[in-house]
Amino acid sequence: MGPGRFGAVLCAMATPFDADGRLDLDGAATLARHLIESGNDGLVVTGTTGESPVLSDEEKMDLWRAVRDAVSVPVIAGTSTADTAHSVKLTRAASAAEVDGILAVTPYYSRPSQAGIEAHVRAIAGASDLPVILYDIPVRTGRKVAEATILRLVADGAIVGVKDAAANPAGSAALVAAAPSSFELYSGNDSDTLPLLAVGAVGVISVESHWAASEVGEMVSAFWKGDVERARTANARLLDSHRFQSSDEAPNPVPTKAMLRVLGLPGGQCRPPMGPPPDGLDQRARQVLSQLHG
């Protein structure tokens, strides 16, 4: 295996806000450039880590344009909501902003059937000529996308791959084995990246690559070179970083925003309902960095 069409390490980029909670477009451009300079191959904007549910359509469009103008690497736009028609509208807007791909999360809260999920993704795919990555994250959406559904979408060209946050490597292995060679599986959880590389993942859409892009890249590269022991060592060094990313007290992206503050990068606080951050989170971020780079 090797990297996918968008690269091996893609950052699920946080959305910076200013002290008053307004969208910080200059900060977004600064953060985007920093993420690429630190080792990311591409960026996913307005995903879960980007707090997409609390961004207006206009803010999303402004953010896509600002990031697209700031970097020359692939930019993938999260355009999917719980409303199919709204998702189609956002996908068309993202295409006009000249992004390179679409991330389509399955509809959340309403828990549609497999037929409903499939129709939702097909509508998004039909709204532009951009390649679509399906985002399968049942812990947040309430629905697992069935293997048969994914394979139909791949066979018809509706999607080119999946961001896999289902936390089931055995199921991922079965999916990769059944899919055509053009299919691309991206790890959707940093803690699952090494196991998913072992079953055919082409990379990761990462949260921790905000602060550990080079370490994640080292692990991926070592695995593909056949140096499994080095990859295991790199993954072990990242375990504390994995644990830091999300918890009941500080769900993603609250810890990411804390890390950005510690690193002196644009970020600000999360908009409600995420947060406020628990006491000691910034200190915990410093500990993670110290352990990682010590």
**Which residues are identified as catalytic?**
135, 163
141 close to 105: Cβ distance less than 8 angstroms: yes
Burial of 171: CB neighbours in 10 Å, binned 0-12, 13-18, 19+: middle
Side-chain-side CA neighbours of residue 285 (13 Å): 25
Q: Is 28 helix (H, G, I), strand (E, B) or coil?
A: helix
Rounded-to-integer distance, Cα 203 and Cα 192, Å: 11
Rg, Å, the chain Cα set: 18
Q: Which of 160, 86, 146 is nearest to 117 (CA)?
A: 146
Rounded-to-integer distance, Cα 184 and Cα 5, Å: 8
Q: Which of 218, 156, 263, 268 is nearest to 8 (CA)?
A: 218
